[in-house]
A = this chain, B = another copy of it.
């Protein structure tokens, strides 16, 4: 799976061959074909591996405080996993964008991408729900819609990073300020965007 990751970053999706993945690993293409009939099967398994990895990272980043948990979620979405080179992220998002563009025609891809989407939205929705309950987030907040909104803003950022080479930093900055503006104690004055990137330990529940 790590070999698939490296091969996708280097070759992209359309041109990827089983040979490229074998070249990045210590296995032969025959060994790969023993487990996966086609490149498509391997990539479906790769998407499942990515979701597992994301779940592990989000579990490791989770904290009790719901506001801080949303910021940790953004940390995970906007930074590469430990050990991955930052340079590879744009190439990786390019490959994922290619798979995403195939999803309307490919039910197996679509199901796995929908599982990602569902998982991300549920993590955020739960944090918003707990935050509202604890009095940390504004009670009028639509928790489900807001979770969907945040996930899609991140998706837009990754899409622009891949297709236009744009940095996602502006979007990350505004998202963090947005999350701060949803806090109960942001009522009466808008959150200061400058402080929004450093909220460690600002529990308000």
Binding site for B on A (CB under 8 A): 12, 94, 97-98, 100-101, 103-105, 110, 113-114, 117, 138, 140, 142, 144-146, 148-149, 151-157, 159-160, 162-166, 170-171, 173-175, 178, 181, 187-190, 192-193
Contact = CB atoms under 8 A, between A and B. Distances in A.
Chain A contact residues, majority secondary structure: helix
A180 to B, nearest CB: 12
Contacts of A138: 190
A160 B170 contact: no
Nearest to A146: B174
Given A149-B174, A149-B175, A155-B156, A163 B193 contact: no
A162 B81 CA distance: 28
B142 A174 contact: yes
Contacts of A193: 140, 142
A163 B149 CA distance: 16
B174 A103 contact: no
A164 B101 contact: no
Given A148-B170, A156-B153, A170-B145, A104 B162 contact: yes
Given A12-B105, A104-B12, A145 B163 contact: no
Nearest to A104: B94
Contacts of A105: 12
Nearest to A153: B153
